[in-house]
Copies of this chain bind each other. A is one copy, B any other.
Amino acid sequence: MLDPQIKERVQLGFEKQAFMAFIGAELTKLEEGVCEIQLPFKMDLTQQNGFFHGGIVGTLADNAAGFAACSQMTLKQAPLTVEYKLNLMNKADGDRLVARGKVLKNGRTLKVCESKIYIVQKNGEEKLCAAALATIMTVSLINPTTKKNSS
């Protein structure tokens, strides 16, 4: 089971991203190396056909990967997205997006993750709408105490 301190820290990290609140995304699940983010539909998030914008799908793919990676970091480390690649497969036409990220390789410096993004359709069924691969880097947080001492 995931350490409660790590869990709290990831939740806090999510809340610190103003963009997540702006679009209305919620962190709905967090386990060791696994993260789920959900986002209810609103018109503000659409492209020309009234579906979720591809950039929104990419945003969730990136974040589901990043927070999955973060769940395998210490409290003195933080995730930084190096790159991600997204394939859009089916139109994101529905009531809610669900992004599920998973760590494939838990490296010391780099974590490789995959995200699958599902659209919850009007009929309630989930449909795969995108897949992504992402590389997340572990960066060391500078210890404020050490920093003060060294100055």
Contacts and interface: CB of A to CB of B under 8 A. Distances in A.
Nearest to A14: B48
Nearest to A116: B104
Given A19-B47, A62-B54, A133-B133, A105 B89 contact: yes
A87 B55 CA distance: 15
A84 B83 contact: no
Nearest to A139: B109
Contact of A43 (B18, B55, B82): B18
Interface string A118-138: 000000000010011101010
A28 interface: no
A102 to B, nearest CB: 11
A110 B131 contact: no
A5 interface: no
B135 A48 contact: no
A48 B13 contact: yes
A7 interface: no
A83 B111 CA distance: 12
A35 interface: no
